[in-house]
Every structure is written in C-alpha cells, then in structure tokens.
Structure 1
C-alpha cells in the first residue's frame, strides 16, 4: 500500500529533478561566480525580455511581487528586506519566470479601492505574489530559488569543477 507520505516524497523528488533540469541551461549562461546582476541578465537572455528589479514598500502584503507584461518582467521586493532576504525574494520571482508560471493573482480579484491596487499597472498580464507555500507553483518557485541561491553562494567558496581562465584554474589547484 502506497502511503500519502510516500507519494508526497515521490512528487517532491520529481519537482526537485525538474527544477535541477531547468537550471542547467541557466547555469550554462553564468560564470562560476555570479551575483544578482548576472543572474537577472542570464534569465533575461533566456526569456528574451528585460527584467526590471525595484524596491517597493509592500505595506506588509507581500515580500515580493512579479508583474508579467508582454514586453518585460518587473520584480519588486520589500524595500526593508535584508540583503540575503532580498536575494531569496528575487530568486523566487525569477523561479516563477523560469518555471513559466503565468501568475497566481487575478487582477479581477483585486478590489479597486485597496492600497495595493493603486500600485498596479493594469496592463499587466499576470502577477505572482507569495502569501504562502501551499500551492505547487509557490513550492516550485521556492525550490528553484533555493537551488539558485545555493549555487550562487557555493560558487563564492568552492572552485569551479571545470575551470576556465587562469584565476579559476589556480583556485581549483589550491582548493
């Protein structure tokens, strides 16, 4: 008899493998050591649209917000987020983009008198705004973000497994 726990573990393994596969092409565009700017540029190159990142006062509604337009993506993060939290928020929203998520918030569900509604450009095609990790899309975006951040920080400590250039070869030699 297959238990719910086993099925959940199996599903998470499939999601993990899909996220790893998805990151393969992205990581091929990035140097061994990369930061937020290089990451954003690489995702922009993959999707063929610019990605704008901006701080915003989220008024306690969300940590991050992604607005999908026909010609660009806009990622907003809580203005007061710590540097590490900011990186996780940006990577999470990039995860939505990499996973091809359309957006979890329907514009029709946002009351026009809400403060958040004043911040939205109504030409947006879709919005992703995390309030929990209960949906498959949020779980997938967060796992993608965690794998990106793990690789970003591991690259600052460990040498490249396939060094290119003199500096990376010296790092690998002495590691």
Structure 2
C-alpha cells in the first residue's frame, strides 16, 4: 500500500471514492445490516462483538479466525461512535487489509479471552497495522456515512416552489388534462 504523501492522498481519495461508489448500501442505512450484506457478498460470516472498552485498548478491532471475521467494538460509547467503529473495521475487509495483517496479537487475547489464540489468524488493531491502512479505512468509513447522509437528503421530499401553485392553476398539473380542454 502506498503512503499518503505528495499525490498519494489524492490517489487514495479516488480509490476510496470508487470503492464506496461501488458498494450496495441498505436503505434506510444500518451499519449492522450493511455488515450482514458484506458477509453475504464475501461468503463468510462477520460476527459483531460488543466489548467494554478498557484503557489503552482500541475501541474497535478486526479479528480473523479460520471460520469467521469478528468485529469487536466498544459497547460503552454513543450509537454514532459505534456505527463509525463498525464501518471502520468493515472498511478493512472491504479494502483487503485483513489479507496483509499480522498474526494474532495480545489485544485479541485480552479482549476475547474465550477465543483460543491458535484460532486467530489475523488481527487489525490501531497500533498493529500501518498508517496508510488506518487512513484508508477511516476514509472509507467516513465516505460511507457521507453517502448515506446524502442519500437520505435526496430522498426527502422537496418543499414546493413558492410560485408552483400559481403555475399549476394557470397551466394545470402534469396529471391534469391540458387547461382549456374539456375531456370527452
């Protein structure tokens, strides 16, 4: 992955924009539903695991096991923050970061003590992977949220133009017969 230096940030932005534009998003948007759709597309389960955030641990973590991907997220934060955490970790899957992540880390053992370390194949945590992957995941998550906000704005009915009623009286509405013409 290229570092976001001169021009690199622009390339990352374009790459992320293409990625997000190609995503199928649920309407209305729900992060858990979106992640379920992503799991279906990938043909592999993605388990959402709420955790109590501890001091000096990431608020989100992507853990890949032999049978599923697990997104751990802080349960004791706002709904908006949880949504962003979920999308950030899902963005790592979307961008393929999980394929180059290091093997299991101590963070997974602390946050998921019930999971045998031998089952954990890959872990992505904020202190484990490279800066460009972090930036890319953050950008994709933010672009998904921006796109859903724009889609919601576009779906809202627009208030009528102030002169619209007068124009409708003069010329009729599209579903009305032409003014001045009598129907047979």
TM-score, normalisation: structure 1: 0.74
**Aligned residue number for residue 64 of structure 2:** 68
**Aligned residue number for residue 43 of structure 1:** 38
Would the aligned equivalents of 2:95 and 2:137 in 1 still touch at CA under 8 Å? yes
Number of aligned positions between the proteins? 154
Identify if the C-alpha distance between structure 1 residues 145 and 14 changes in structure 2 by more than 3 Å, giving closer, same or farther.
Answer: same
Q: Does 1:85 align with 2:101?
A: no
**Aligned residue number for residue 154 of structure 2:** 158
SS in 1 for 2:23: helix
**Aligned residue number for residue 136 of structure 2:** 140
**Aligned residue number for residue 25 of structure 1:** 22
The unaligned stretches of length 5 or more in structure 2 are 161-184
Shift of 1:13: 0.9
Distance 1:48 1:40 in 2: 12
**Aligned residue number for residue 172 of structure 2:** none
Task: Note the aligned Cα RMSD (angstroms).
Answer: 2.8
SS in 2 for 1:26: coil
The unaligned stretches of length 5 or more in structure 1 are 1-6, 160-170
Where does 1:55-134 land on structure 2 (aligned, <5 Å)?
55-60=50-55, 61-102=57-98, 104-107=101-104, 110=106, 115-116=110-111, 118=113, 120-122=115-117, 123-131=119-127
Whichever of the two has the greater Rg, that structure is 2
Shift of 1:33: 3.0
Shift of 1:19: 1.1
Give CA-to-partner distance per residue, 1:37-83, whole Å, 9 cap, x none: 33112211221111111210231211101111233111111121111
Identify if the C-alpha distance between structure 1 residues 133 and 9 changes in structure 2 by more than 3 Å, giving closer, same or farther.
Answer: farther
Give CA-to-partner distance per residue, 1:72-119, whole Å, 9 cap, x none: 111111121111110110000000000111264532x5399x744736
SS in 2 for 1:74: strand
